[in-house]
Structure 1
Amino acid sequence: MQYSVKAAFLDRDGVLNKDTGYVGSIADFQWQEGAKEALRILTEWEYTIIIVTNQSGVARGYYTEEAVRRLHHWLSVEAVRCGSRITAVYYCPYLPGAPIKAYDYDSDWRKPNPGMVLQACKDYAVERSRSFLIGDSPRDIECGKRARVDSYLFTGGSLADFVRNILKERKQSGRL
């Protein structure tokens, strides 16, 4: 298989939406400043957008996997409405020591492990040297490092401005 797709891997909570705790429903979802514009910019620059998100709220019993899937479907529809496209959403519902035993598992998909990113790279023929990850925690950045994908720590402000700066830097360094 030839790997030629460039991807933007995005964490969900704290990047696309404000991290207000365990976000398991559309009603709880609050867009991060500039997030819709950031999605549109990434699409204009021909990045395949892939969300990679830990969802331990499932393992803790705060919401179900079905609720997570509904939220992610809605998020994909909203992306289209703003002129973008989310190609895939990978999530990890597992948590070692979880109160719900079915989810008490140390998964290689749970960040900082790189399982979600590596699976997406296989599924979509992602060329890692042309791709990057944006996260809001050291766990996200470590995931990117383990997957050998450039990683950027988002600490707040406008996600659109943050993405513009990343793309400018990547263009200057020839990593588009």
Structure 2
Amino acid sequence: MTHKAVFLDRDGVINIDHGYVYQPEEFEFVPGVFEACQKFHALGYLIVVVTNQSGIGRGYYTVEDFNTLSIWMRKAFQAHDIPIAAIEFCPHHPEKATEEYLKDCECRKPRPGMLIKAAEDWDIDLSQSIMIGDKCSDMQAAQASGVPMRVLVAKNGEKERLQTLNCPEATHHFLDLQAFSHTL
């Protein structure tokens, strides 16, 4: 049985992007994220987080730090009866990273590697799925992987940021996850 998924970028979409967030005490959920994800889950979508994490590659925090935060975030979602099927991340950067992570890879958005991996691992039908992100690179990764509904939301829910983005790959524009969820 194939599944449909809502792919979510993390920083700026799930949480307020304070820059290289890796500790629970720095992690602030965007208002309405749980309500929106409850609706996605109720509509039969798997919740999959796809996030560039160049802070690992730059040496700001470790994979272990990221995993610890991800476990904490999953528990917060579970407390609202929302299972997160997968969290895919890319620690690489093509120019600004330590030697181990200095790589022009297929997983870093705007490339589609994270979405394709999740689709293979979870039997996801990309043509029935949705990508929600706050950057054009999110929309480009979704387009490259065959996700037809590409929702650009305002980073941290800040409307003026959305109005300044020129992103032809986006099929929809909304203030935040919750505003989009009301249309489903």
* Fold-level similarity (TM above 0.5): yes
Output the amino acid matched with 1:162.
Answer: F
Corresponding position of 1:24: 22
1:162 aligns with 2:161: no
Distance 2:124 2:111 in 1: 18
Aligned-residue RMSD, C-alpha: 1.2
Q: Identify the structure with bigger relative contact order (alpha carbons < 8 Å, sequence gap 6+).
A: 1
Are the counterparts in 1 of residues 6 and 45 from structure 2 also a CA contact under 8 Å? yes
In structure 2, C-alpha distance between the alignment counterparts of 1:60 and 1:69, rounded to whole Å: 16
Task: Give the secondary structure class of the aligned counterpart of 1:49.
Answer: strand
Deviation at 1:101, TM superposition (A): 0.8
Length-normalised TM-score, structure 1? 0.89
Q: Distance in 2 between matches of 1:26 and 1:81?
A: 15
Alpha-carbon offset, residue 158 of structure 1: 4.3
1:126 aligns to what SS in structure 2?
A: coil
Q: Distance in 2 between matches of 1:125 and 1:116?
A: 14
Which aligned pairs between 1:71-82 and structure 2 lie closer than 5 A? 71-82=69-80
Residue identity in the other structure for 1:27: E
**Separation (CA, whole Å) in 2 of partners of 1:131 and 1:154:** 16
**Residue type of the partner of 2:39?**
I
Match of 2:168 in 1: none
2:59 and 2:48 map into 1 onto residues whose CA distance is 26
Q: Give the total of aligned pairs.
A: 164
Q: Percent identity between the aligned chains?
A: 37
1:102 to 90, 100, 110: 100
Distance 1:89 1:80 in 2: 14
Choose 55-64 or 151-160, whichever is displaced more.
151-160
Query: How many angstroms apart in 1 are the aligned matches of 2:49 and 2:87?
Result: 5
Q: Which runs of 5+ in 2 are unaligned?
A: 158-174
